[in-house]
Structure 1
Amino acid sequence: ELVLRDALAQGSRSFWTPHKLGDALRGQQRMDEAVAAYEQALSWGSDSPLTARNLLQVLDGLDPGLPLDRLEVWAATIDSASLNWELPPPWLAGACEAALTSTGLELAHWLQSRGCPDPAIRQRALQDSVLRFDLDRGLALAEGPLRLRLLELLSVPAPLELA
């Protein structure tokens, strides 16, 4: 940490310096300071998915709603209706990585609701919905044969008519 702070004090302008400082602070469980360091790396032009991933993971640990707020800020900078999942912007690639490694599942739900095609992220969101008995959300996530099988299992047979 001291070496990184010294590099910043001496005028280092590489975004990797505050990024690595964020990593060091995160390792020391100084999460608020880590958030500030990752945000500084982003403001200095970090185009690394790692910076976004680490920031979102730290925010998720502080409060599961915080990464969603940050994602909304990033999404507002582009036409979110046409997210490019083939070549995602760095923040979106980092969000996908964070969704697979964070303890909270809100990131997976946010990404899935915007069309994320990653099967592991979709699986996390679906499993969470099923485990919460949120059948509406779970059915909305399910596709193809899985959706048909779930609907079949949930259907209630028509009552038998008495003669």
Structure 2
Amino acid sequence: MATPPPASPLLDIRGSAVILDTSDRVLMVQPTGAESYELPGGVAEPGEEDWQAMARSVRTQLGLVVSPFRLLAKDFLPAQAEGGPVGYTFVYDCGRYAYDTPIVVPGGETGVAGYAWVAISALEHHCRPEHDRLVMAALTARTEGTTAVLRRGAPAYAVEG
């Protein structure tokens, strides 16, 4: 009897939101147990599209009802371990909110310990390097009216030799 081929790696699809305040600060969430911050959003459930996962996760994590205006970035994430999932993060522009917009972090099983409005100039001090690159690429795409195509937060079109 022939051995079946190995199973395909799993694919994680995430949707994340760029939400700015009127002072151009970025709304970031701090995952439970982490020191760094990241964009709000989450992994798509079976049958759910990336933008739907983003909207559902932002509502769950922060109590905000958001709708995507435009896709800002697509980030490919290679598997972290052999046989582990590869993934894509799709980042959407979700507009501006006033700094004093009520935000509620319910805690519990949301996976979020807190949030912060972070100045663009301070992102590198609040995020992991690859997430800082992702957020900066998404903000640049927002300003330029383009869409960033990335690999771990860096331009994906760089050809490896």
Scaled by the length of structure 2, the TM-score of the pair is: 0.24
Q: Greater relative contact order (Cα 8 A, min sep 6): structure 1 or 2? A: 2
Structure with greater Cα Rg: 1
Structure with more strand by fraction: 2
Structure with more helix by fraction: 1
Scaled by the length of structure 1, the TM-score of the pair is: 0.24
